[in-house]
Chains A and B, each alone.
Chain A
Amino acid sequence: MDEQDISLALQQQVLDAFQNKTPLAITGGGSKSFLGRTAVHAQPIDISKHRGIVEYDPCELVLTARSGTPLQEIEAALAEAGQMLAFEPPHFGDSATLGGTIACALSGPRRPYSGSARDFVLGCQMLNGRGEILRFGGQVMKNVAGYDVSRLMVGTYGTLGILLETSLKVLPRPAASITVASECSAAEAIASMSGLLGKPYPVDGACYHGDRCYVRISGSAQAVKEARTRIAGDVVADAEKFWHALREHELPFFRHPSLSGKARLYRIMVKPATPPLSIEGSWLLDWGGAQRWLRSDEDIATLRRRVELAGGHVTVFRGGDRDEEIFQPLSGPLLTIHQRLKASFDPKNIFNRGRLYADL
C-alpha cells in the first residue's frame, strides 16, 4: 500500500468532534481491540491509512514512521539494515501498527534487558483534543527541552490524543544468539533468573514455562560463546520460534480452552525476585520473573489484594468483564492528576473515553 499523510483529514475530523463534543474511538489495524476496557460507544476515527516510514537513517539509529504503518513493514526495513526494535514488541496479529503498539505500550521478552517501548521513543507528532497538531521530543538521542510528552503518550491507550508519527531509537541486531534451558521448579527459576541480573552476561530473555527455565543469550559471536560456558542448560533448537510464540501468545499456555470459558488471563507485575505466589491457576513467568502470566478463575478483587501485598499490580489481559476496571485502580490523588492531564490534552473528553479507566 502507498505511503500517505492524511494528518490534515484526521485533524478536520478531530476539529469537528471538538465542535460537536462527539466521542471518537481511535482505530488502526484492530489487532489490540481486545486490550483495555470497553470504551464508550463512539465514532471511529481510522488512522490505518496514515502510513509510511518518514525517515530512516540506519547510521543515526533513528526511525520515524506514521502511526498507521504496519509493524511488519517497519521491522522488515530495519532487518534489511541489520537493525531492530529492541523492545521486541508483540504484534498480536498481522495488522498491528506502530501507533497501536506505542499507545498500548507493548514490549516483548527483551524488555527487562534492553528497555520498554517507552524507553525507545524519542519524539512524536500528535493531535490533541483541540485538533492541534503538536510535536514533542525529536529525532535525537538526548533532548531535555520541554516536558517529555512523547514518552507520556506511550501506554495512554489513545486517551490523550492521536499519535500521528513516532520517532524511535533502534539498535543493531545481535550478531549471534542462543537459548539454553534447564528443568527446575518455579522457585529455582526465579532465583536463577534474578541472579543473572547481577551478572554482566549478555542475557536478553529469561522465562519459566512448563517446568523449564529458558535463558536467551545474544551479542557478539565471542560474547555468546563465552556466556554459554557460564550459564547452565541445554541448547534449545528452534529457539527463535519459541520466543516468537511466547511474545505473540501463541504457546499452548495462552491458547488454553479454559480461556474461552470462565478463566481469565491475568498479567501480574511484581519485583522479579518475588517468590512464587500461592494463587490457584497456571503460571508462566516472563521478563526474568518480573511479568507473570496467570490463567485462573480467581476473581480480580481477591487477586489484586494478594498481589498488592507483594508490591505488584494486576491487569486483566484477556477475558473477564471488560466493563470492569481492567487495569489496577489508581489512588485518589494520582487519579486526580490523571484526570487533569486528560483534560489538559482533551478538554472535551472526546478520545477513547473509558478505554483505560472508567473515570478517564
Chain B
Amino acid sequence: MDVIFPYMPLEFYTRVNYYACLHASRSHTSHPQPVTGVPLPHNRKNDVALNIGLLRALRSLLPPESVLVDAEDMRPFECDGLAVYRQLPMVVVLPETIEQVQCIMRLCHAQQVPVVARGAGTGLSGGALPLADGVLLSLAKFKRILSIDPHNAMATVQPGVRNLAISEAAATYGMYYAPDPSSQIACTIGGNVAENSGGVHCLKYGLTVHNILMLKVVTMEGDLLTIGAETLDSPGYDLLALMTGSEGMLGIIVEVTVKLLAKPERAQVVLAAFDDVVKAGEAVGAIISAGIIPAGLEMMDNLAIQAAEDFVHAGYPRDAEAILLCELDGTHAEVSEYIATVRKILTGSGATEVRTAVDEAERQLFWKGRKSAFPAVGRISPDYYCMDGTIPRRQLPHVLRRISEMSAEYGLAVANVFHAGDGNLHPLILFDANKPGELERTEEYGRRILQLCVEVGGTITGEHGVGIEKIDQMCLQFNNTELAQFHAVKAAFDPSGLLNPGKAVPTLPRCAEFGAMHVHHGKLSHPELERF
C-alpha cells in the first residue's frame, strides 16, 4: 500500500518548531458520549467516511474522553515535529493499559484498519503523521515509571515517560539514562526507541539501541511480546536491535526497560575557535587519534555561531569560521588529564583561541548556545529546513565545500551544526516560504545534500529517521533487493501491512517513479556521466 502525501499549503511549511505539536498529551475535556448511537462528528476537514462499526467498538473499549473524532479535538495530533506534513486521522485513541492496546490492535486487525502510533510528537521526519483512514494510537497516558533498580542499573518505564524524567528519577541513586536528544524535556522513551534517538553524547555512550534492555511490544495481531530481557542478552534473534529505530512499523511499544549509568563525577567543556572549518575538522580527527573519546564533540560554523550568539549570548567568538565544543567527563583526575591533552591538541591544530569553561555556569552556557542553535537560526530566517545526514568524518572538508557551492548555486544560505565526533551533520537551509519558488529550491537543495552524503559513503539520516520526509531518499541508499528484504522483515511482524503504512521504507514502484539514481555504497552507476 502506497500512501501519497500531497504537498501542503505554503503557510504550513517548515517553521520547524519542536513545540508546535507538543501539546498532544494535554487532557481533553470530555464530551460525554453514549456508547451506542454514535453521533457523527462535525467539522471534519477530510471527507473520509468514518468507520462507524469500528468507532462503536472503540467506544465500548475505552472511556469516552479517550476516543476523539472531532476535528477540533484531533488537531493536536495532525502532525509531529515536522509540521509541514499535516493530516487528521479518522480517529484518535488514548488507551491506558496494555490490554486496551491489545484489544484496539485486534479490532483494527480484524477490520483491516491501519494504525499509527504516537508518543510526544517531537519526531522530525513525519513518522507519526496520521492516516486519513487510520487510527492514531497515542501512548500519552502511559506515563508511569514502573521501577528503578540501581543494583541492577536499570529502570522500567511506560513508553509515554519523558526522556529527561528517567534521568531525573534515577538521580536519587547517582545514575542517569544516557541518550539525550535535544528534545529530551518533551520527547518520550517510546518514541526514542522507535526512532533510535541519539543526542550529543552518542560517540561515548551510544544511541538508544545501546541503552535499552527489554521491550514489551503489542503486534498488529494483538499479541504481547517480550523482546530482549532484563539480562544483558536474550535467547534467539536480536529483535531488540531490529525493533529499535523501526519507526512504528513492526509493533506498538508498551513498556521499556532501559540501562542506567553512574553519573560522571565531573564534566568539563573546552571551546576552541578556528579561522577555517577544515582546520576544525582536522582537530576532531587529532583528538580521536590521540586515544580520547570525548563525551561530546560538536562543531558550528560562522552563521550558526552568529545566530546562537545573538540569541543566547553564549560567549562564542563571533569572528570565528568554526568553533568546536569538546566535553570530557569521568573522574576528577581523569578529566584534568584529558583537558590538558585536548587543549594541547587544539592549539596544535591551529585554533585561534582555546577556552575551558571556568565553572559549571559557563559550561552550561557553552552548551546552551549549541542546544539552541536550531531556534536561533529560526530567528534570523523566516523558515529553515533541517537536514540530518551522516558522513565519514574524513569527508567533512569535501562535503562542507560542496554544501557551500550549492548554497551559492541555489541562492540559499545554510548554517551548519555538526555532531563532529560521530559525523552527523545538520545543515540548516534558510529560506522564505512566502517567496515564490524558494520552497521548491530548498527541497531540491536538501535532496542534493542527502545524495552527497550517500555518495561519500554516509547515510541520509543519522538520527531523525526516514518517516515520510526522506522516503524517496531511501531509494538512493538502498537497491530494490534490499528494499524488498526490508518489506519482508516488516511482513514477518505485520503480515497485513497495517502498522504505519507508507513510512520508512518506500515501495519499489515509488522508487521507480522517483527515478532515482541509486548511489549505493558511495558509488554512482555511470560516474562518467554529467549530472545536474
Contacts and interface: CB of A to CB of B under 8 A. Distances in A.
B56 to A, nearest CB: 29
Interface stretch (A17-25, A149-157, A255-263): A149-157
Nearest to A143: B459
Contacts of A136: 482
A146 B291 contact: no
A200 interface: yes
Interface string A302-328: 000000000111010000000000011
A330 B419 contact: no
Contacts of A290: 231-232
Interface stretch (A5-13, A70-78, A110-118, A246-254): A110-118
A338 interface: yes
B263 interface: yes
A156 B330 contact: no
Given A140-B390, A146-B505, A220 B337 contact: yes
A90 interface: no
Given A147-B245, A223-B334, A333 B232 contact: no
Contact of B237 (A111, A152, A222, A311): A152
A271 B461 contact: no
A184 interface: no
Given A142-B198, A269-B231, A313-B234, A148 B285 contact: no
B296 to A, nearest CB: 13
A329 B421 CA distance: 41
B316 interface: no
B410 to A, nearest CB: 24
Given A60-B392, A144-B464, A198-B175, A115 B206 contact: yes
Which of B198, B226, B236, B490 has the largest number of chain A CB atoms within 10 A?
Answer: B236
B520 A202 contact: no
B459 A140 contact: yes
B231 A144 contact: no
B443 to A, nearest CB: 18
Contacts of B35: none
Contacts of A142: 198, 202, 207, 390, 419, 422-424, 459, 462-463
A198 B173 contact: yes
A309 B474 CA distance: 45
B488 interface: yes
Most buried by A among B195, B206, B332: B206
Contacts of A343: 492
B152 A273 contact: yes
B243 to A, nearest CB: 9
A333 B225 contact: yes
A44 interface: no
B293 A198 contact: no
A329 B236 CA distance: 8
A119 interface: yes
B333 A273 contact: no
A61 B202 CA distance: 14
A-B pairs, top 7 by smallest CB distance, nearest first, are A223-B334, A151-B241, A172-B291, A141-B422, A344-B488, A142-B462, A340-B492
Given A58-B289, A118-B241, A144-B195, 9 more contacts: A116-B232, A141-B203, A142-B422, A144-B465, A175-B291, A272-B152, A272-B153, A313-B231, A341-B237
Interface of B: 149-154, 173-175, 195-196, 198, 202-203, 206-207, 209-210, 219, 223-227, 229-239, 241-242, 244-246, 249-250, 262-265, 285, 288-289, 291-293, 330-334, 336-338, 390-394, 419, 421-424, 457-466, 470, 474, 477-478, 481-482, 485-486, 488-493, 495, 504-505, 520-521
21 contacts: A60-B393, A119-B210, A135-B520, A140-B424, A141-B421, A142-B207, A151-B241, A151-B242, A156-B237, A172-B288, A197-B150, A198-B151, A198-B173, A220-B330, A221-B337, A273-B152, A290-B231, A313-B231, A327-B235, A333-B224, A341-B492
